[in-house]
Amino acid sequence: METIEAYLERKHREIGLLNDCLMSPRRLPRPRSVDEVIRTKFQLTAMLRAEHAVHDWKATETAWSASASPASGPFVFSYDYQRADLRVSGPSFYELEPGCASETIYAASGMAAISTLLVAFAPVVAKADILVLPGSYGETLELIERFVPNLRLVKLTLPLPEAPAPAGVPRILLLDSCVSARVFDEALHCDGSALDLLVFDTTCFAGRSGRIRRVLRWARRCKIPVVMVRSHNKLDSLGGEYGRLGSTVFVGWCEQGAEAGRAILERLAAETRNAVRLLGSAALPAHFPPYVGSEAYWALTKARVSAILRNGRDAASIFARELASLAAELHFTHGLYVTLRTRRSRDEASARQAAEAMSRDLSRKGYPIRHAGSFGFDFAATEWSHDATTDQYNVRVTVPDLPTKLWNDLAAAIAEWWTSNQCRL
């Protein structure tokens, strides 16, 4: 259990890390409230982005100045016109184990990363099956169905088969970090040796998460080449939403027998670079957080995510007890949010209205809750959520990094509000 005093001291260190990245750090006292923490962190990240624009004024889209040397903290960039050939030198957002070879391609967002990867399959494989698990991210499935005709969407159901069924085309498994804990565990107990590729969306896991290591070890045992895609404007920004940034990391194994997989990755990486160039999806140097990479950053990120996961377990317990049938999913494998349902069916608009109304009412009572998308914040966030498996619209409650008692009080208030307002939802 984290006290408010311990929380504020930890947040003071987070604020100090951001502040130290400014050219002229400000004199900032220890924060005295959650609201002050939230406001200060967003102000500092805005100042960092503004400083980047002023300092790197020569690094324009047309790359007209030979003397430009754009950088953001430990990241250094080189590129020509419109960043079509963007090259990035800097720390990894992951911690990969020895015995693998990797290449990273950055994009303008998480969806840009996976979109350019999926488009890149066309010149590499004429036809392939892409196996998707229940609860996979809805927009990824929509993207495949609408714009990637060479990939046939195969929606798996529970219980999962022990091994993928034989097929006459390459088989790709899409493993999404937003699935339920049960689905995630079942997937990693399957025999994946017949798979040709694993596409792993890591967005909901911290970059050094043990779950990422677990997936990579499973893939390595099965000799499956891996492509990891990620949105970095979530858990990698210390809750400050630094800027839209995505990446695609191609991970191949160095063991004998994995040569074919490495060859596939090389072709996919080359075509993904082409897709980034042709679709105008290159990353912006200004969106690379300058505080990433230090030991202090990793320690603070670990502490933040640990606090969110603890609060997530408490939330699941509170909502299971207080809401019963009104809880849609309480046990996502990431532990970062839960979803709530109503007694009546709803559409996207009504789900959004419910999320907004709950946040408005509880915020007026002084709770740190906002109607906002995404997750990983220092405040609770509510938004509509579409379950692609059931085709139901729910309300997503993202678990914040807050002191234990404050979050438990807020979770109880959410449960009370949700129960008492069913008649108007």
For residue 312, the domain's CATH number is 3.90.1150
| 31 and 92 inside one domain | no
| 309 and 420 inside one domain | yes
**153 near 181, Cβ under 8 Å?**
no
Find all residues with CB under 8 Å of 403, minimum gap 6, and list them: 2, 3, 4, 6, 7, 34
| 191 and 221 inside one domain | yes
| 251 and 305 inside one domain | no
Q: Is 408 exposed, middle or buried (0-12, 13-18, 19+ CB in 10 A)?
A: middle
| 280 and 301 inside one domain | no
324 lies in some domain: yes
State the pTM of this model.
0.95
Of 254, 287, 320, the position where a domain reaches its end is 287
61 lies in some domain: no
Number of structural domains the chain divides into: 3
- pLDDT tens-digit profile of 130-189? 999 999 999 999 999 999 999 999 999 999 888 777 778 999 999 999 999 999 999 999
| 278 and 358 inside one domain | no
349 lies in some domain: yes
Residue 277: predicted pLDDT: 95
| 128 and 239 inside one domain | yes
| 164 and 260 inside one domain | yes
Tell me which residue of 43, 27, 31, 39 sits closest to 7, measured CA to CA: 31
| 347 and 384 inside one domain | yes
In degrees and rounded to multiples of 5, residue 241 shows phi and psi of: 45, 65
Residue 43: predicted pLDDT: 97
Question: Residues of the chain whose pLDDT is less than 70?
Answer: none
Residue 218: predicted pLDDT: 97
| 320 and 351 inside one domain | yes
Residue 282: predicted pLDDT: 95
- The residues pairing with 392 across neighbouring beta strands, listed in sequence order, are 387
| 229 and 103 inside one domain | yes
Enclosing domain of residue 34: 4-55
Of 287, 312, 342, the position where a domain reaches its end is 287
In degrees and rounded to multiples of 5, residue 228 shows phi and psi of: -100, 130
Residue 65: predicted pLDDT: 76
What CATH code is carried by the domain that includes residue 270?
3.40.640.10
66 lies in some domain: no
| 85 and 23 inside one domain | no
Residue 425: predicted pLDDT: 77
